[in-house]
Amino acid sequence: MSRAAELLGGAGPLAASLARYESRPGQLDMAAAVERALAEERVLLCEAGTGTGKTLAYLIPAILSGKKVIVSTATRALQEQIATRDLPLIERMGLEPRAAVMKGLSNYLCLHRFNEHRQSSLDPALRQIEDWRGATQVGDISELSSLSEDHPVWREVTSSSDTRLGAGCAHFDECFVTRMRREADAARLVIVNHHLFFADLALRGPHPGRVLPDYDAVIFDEAHQLEDIATDFFGVKVSSARIEGIFRDLSRVVALTGAGDAAIEGARRASDAFWARLAAVSDLGGGIEPRVAIERDVFTGELATRWHDLDSALEGVLALAETARGRVTQKGAPLIKEPRAIADALEIAARRVSTLRDHLAIAIEGAPGRVTWLDAGSKSYSLSSSPVDVSSLFRDLVFGSVPAAVLTSATLATGDARAGESPFAYLRSRLGLGDGSIGVEERVIDSPFDYPNNALFYTPRDLPEPAAPDFVAAASARIAELCALTDGGAFVLTTSLRSMRALHASLRGRLGERALFLQGEAPKGALLERFRADGRAVLVATSSFWEGVDIPGHALRLVVLEKIPFFVPSDPIVKARSARLEEQGENPFMKLFVPAAALALKQGFGRLIRTRDDFGVVALFDDRVHKKSYGKRVLAALPPAQRTDELGAVKRFWTERSVV
């Protein structure tokens, strides 16, 4: 037995320190596989079903390995769970984790920006931050619970890659980010999130830099999100809001020097003209699609003129920042309070403008293998350019460069083992592991939960197809029947905002006295807390609630999935990936759409059973699982719950299971 498995086993120190401890065979199997991958410097792909205990199964081998290991998670919440729950548990086993937590720069108070902002703002929130600043040891804004993390003031006083000065900053030695990085340098285990990992990887490019310390191995938890996050970080994004933010910050600093801001006002007009023309030529004005692909030949004629006008105006803003900085630093300059801080702020502004011009040029000029698109938000536009395929980036920058890598999640496997296919065929193809050039071990570890007895999967055949005009009315009536049976405690998960709003509206008046919640009517955390506390509520939500939401216990006992969560075919990145597969002679629907939908459906299903005692019903209102050839493939990826297409069977299951 491996050392990690011994520690986690029934005779190990964890069992001795915890009452009612149950050794889990799946956890021991995974721990041994992770230990082997780290020792042999291999890649491990491991799907670990809900309840496996995968966090301890990779943390303990990482600590025992003696290597410098990065653990990368999908969310800050999971980072916090590891730091506050799992690592203290490991310490009780007699191990010394020597761990540090690193978050993105925007999570930390920037002393330089804070001092600058309080000179020009009367925001009362600054007083709260001032009091907290004197007490905090880490500067993580999540500590200040009296001020919400989405409060506008944080945007002005937190750190960012655009605003960091590095060793030249007057606050460098006391800087919270500096302190965080020093602790990470000294640690053996560094807990980050995927966004930070790829931000670091993107910096280790043509002009080498780094965010994370060098490491010997990486463990990716929630690894099913890697492709999308990497696509974001190896792309560029320029938004009207980003441009306005630069102008706003620069105007505030320039005013302190006594210089005029005519160049900024001119650039603001040029920006407005550019975005208005880009929206007009992209058909966004009609509101047909909020996100549309932009071809390179669009940037001709008047739009090209608008771009050149904006670029020239930004060049003028850059000159203004540099001139104002010279005014502050020259001998005999007018008396200016804190000239070094202002000079530093102007240097940052100049760098931000220069980077903005570069990113705008990359997005507009394009390149082979990239896709460019325009997003229309409620208050701003954004122009983005990303690689279509990141498999070579993973192969070269991760698996070909890092000695050992572990990828794990409750949802990674989609392949059809009966057809002789690797269960990780889809993941391997998307992340550059499909050609066999890199050694890979694969493990699929089933959940220890009793799905056959505790879960029923209901797939009715008598509802209209999801695209039919009468689907919403029929679906909401069936949801009401199910909620009457379970007395609420339901998630209704949709695949679009339009469907979410339509079902929510149709459910009004159908649920008796049960509370009906809608995603967006309150912050996500507050909404989930209300749902838990109510016990009989019904929550209608979309994509962000399909995964990463944990409601153990009886509060959630019914999950209704509107339809199979296929990619939107018109999405620019999806279209580009589909075209790439067609060029390679592959069928995009079977190679991309179906496996991705199976993973997403598995995530939605996974909201139901979170502990050994949980039980309930998952319903999928999409008859295509019965009628289409791909239905069996989608269903094969799901947990082994009982299955039925009859409402009567659901009623019998609920009656029998409720009295157990």
In a domain, 188, yes or no: no
Last residue of a domain, one of 353, 369, 387: 387
Give the pLDDT score at 344.
81
H or E stretch covering 404? strand 404-409
The series of mean pLDDT values per 10 residues for the chain, 660 residues long, is: 84 78 90 96 96 95 97 91 93 92 92 83 86 92 85 89 78 91 96 93 67 95 95 92 92 83 94 94 63 90 96 95 81 60 84 94 92 88 94 93 96 74 92 90 95 96 94 97 96 95 96 95 90 96 91 95 94 95 96 95 95 95 94 92 96 83
* Residues 505 and 648 grouped into a single domain: yes
How does strand 370-376 pair with strand 381-387?
Answer: antiparallel
Closest CA to 600 of 568, 578, 573: 568
Q: How far apart are CA 446 and CA 436, in angstroms?
A: 25
In a domain, 417, yes or no: yes
* Coil/strand/helix, residue 643: strand
Last residue of a domain, one of 367, 387, 407: 387
* Residues 264 and 116 grouped into a single domain: no
Give the pLDDT score at 607.
94
pTM as predicted: 0.90
* Residues 474 and 605 grouped into a single domain: yes
* Residues 285 and 422 grouped into a single domain: no
For the chain, the domain total comes to 4
Give the pLDDT score at 391.
95
Q: How far apart are CA 438 and CA 395, in angstroms?
A: 8
* Residues 290 and 433 grouped into a single domain: no
Give the pLDDT score at 284.
58
* Residues 476 and 367 grouped into a single domain: no
Do residues 399 and 43 lie in contact, with contact meaning Cβ atoms separated by under 8 Å? yes
In a domain, 559, yes or no: yes
From first CA to last CA, the distance across the chain in angstroms is 38
* Residues 464 and 498 grouped into a single domain: yes
State the angle between helix axes of 339-365 and 301-329 in degrees (0 to 180), rounded to the nearest 10.
Answer: 160
Domain span at residue 80 reads 3-98+390-445
Q: Which residues neighbour 170 within 8 Å (Cβ) at sequence distance 6 or greater?
A: 112, 340, 341, 344
* Residues 268 and 240 grouped into a single domain: yes
In a domain, 231, yes or no: no
* Residues 496 and 585 grouped into a single domain: yes
The single-letter DSSP state of residue 464 is P
Give the pLDDT score at 331.
53
Distance set, CA 376 to CA 305, 357, 578 (Å): 22, 21, 23
* Residues 126 and 158 grouped into a single domain: yes
* Residues 275 and 330 grouped into a single domain: yes
The single-letter DSSP state of residue 553 is S
What's the CATH code of the domain at 261? 1.10.275
In a domain, 39, yes or no: yes
State the angle between helix axes of 125-133 and 111-120 in degrees (0 to 180), rounded to the nearest 10.
Answer: 150
Report residue 61: phi and psi, to 5°.
-60, -35
What's the CATH code of the domain at 399? 3.40.50
Closest CA to 557 of 638, 460, 654: 654
In a domain, 209, yes or no: no
Q: Which residues neighbour 495 within 8 Å (Cβ) at sequence distance 6 or greater?
A: 542, 543, 562, 563, 565, 566
Torsion angle of C-alpha atoms 34, 35, 41, 44, degrees rounded to 10? -10
* Coil/strand/helix, residue 81: helix
Give the pLDDT score at 419.
62
Last residue of a domain, one of 400, 430, 445: 445
3-state secondary structure 89-134: HHHCCCCCCCEEECCCHHHEECHHHHHHHHHHCCCCHHHHHHHHHC
In a domain, 566, yes or no: yes
What's the CATH code of the domain at 472? 3.40.50.300
* Residues 469 and 593 grouped into a single domain: yes
In a domain, 201, yes or no: no
